[in-house]
A and B are shown apart, each in its own frame.
Chain A
Amino acid sequence: NAGVMQNPRHLVRRRGQEARLRCSPMKGHSHVYWYRQLPEEGLKFMVYLQKENIIDESGMPKERFSAEFPKEGPSILRIQQVVRGDSAAYFCASSPASGTSNEKLFFGSGTQLSVL
């Protein structure tokens, strides 16, 4: 039973380029979450998606960042015109349902984005 799969594991971009990060949730999971971790900090919530719907994007910058979770295929976090401050580890997590008190949030291994 594969876990949450993220790719690529490492991504290098030059300033101004676009970064696309992919996340395939665990089998049977329909909820996806993206978190960002700056160096030496804890994870910060960015966005929560269900299939074809953005439920909560309160943690996502208003400009240049977007996320989707289509009916078919992985969830995509897209960062346009990257800047050095976007360099961070981006984690995806998934859960099977909502409202259950002790549901674990399963994280992928993360994508380390480096902007040159």
Chain B
Amino acid sequence: AQKITQTQPGMFVQEKEAVTLDCTYDTSDQSYGLFWYKQPSSGEMIFLIYQGSYDEQNATEGRYSLNFQKARKSANLVISASQLGDSAMYFCAMREGLGGSSYKLIFGSGTRLLVRP
């Protein structure tokens, strides 16, 4: 069963506008963590933001914020004031069982974001 679903294969956004990248997840664990990574064309994986299942508030990191809706099992990434350098693939990932020892992340299939000038 697919545990991380990113339904938008590709997205366009105008420079300086905000964009939301969707992510839904499926888990029976009470403790889990949700991550977003950016992969530019150069290929490296860049950590953007993290949300723990017990965190009361939505995570924010600069222009990135995570819209965490636990009941809906969604963890959408919001990028404000888009820049040309934001053009990249974006991956949502989940880590189950935070008390355990494994960082076995489960990744979604990604969303390719293109920022238009």
Contacts and interface: CB of A to CB of B under 8 A. Distances in A.
A66 B4 CA distance: 27
A42 interface: yes
A102 B105 CA distance: 13
B37 to A, nearest CB: 8
Given A48-B103, A98-B100, A99-B101, A43 B45 contact: yes
Contacts of A95: 103
B35 A48 contact: no
A59 B109 CA distance: 17
Contact of B44 (A35, A59, A103, A110): A110
A45 B104 contact: yes
Interface in B14-60: 31, 33, 35, 37, 42-45, 47, 50, 52, 54
Interface residues of A, number: 30
Interface of B: 4, 31, 33, 35, 37, 42-45, 47, 50, 52, 54, 91, 93, 98-110
Interface of A: 31, 33, 35, 40-45, 48, 55-56, 59, 89, 91, 93, 95, 98-99, 101-110, 112
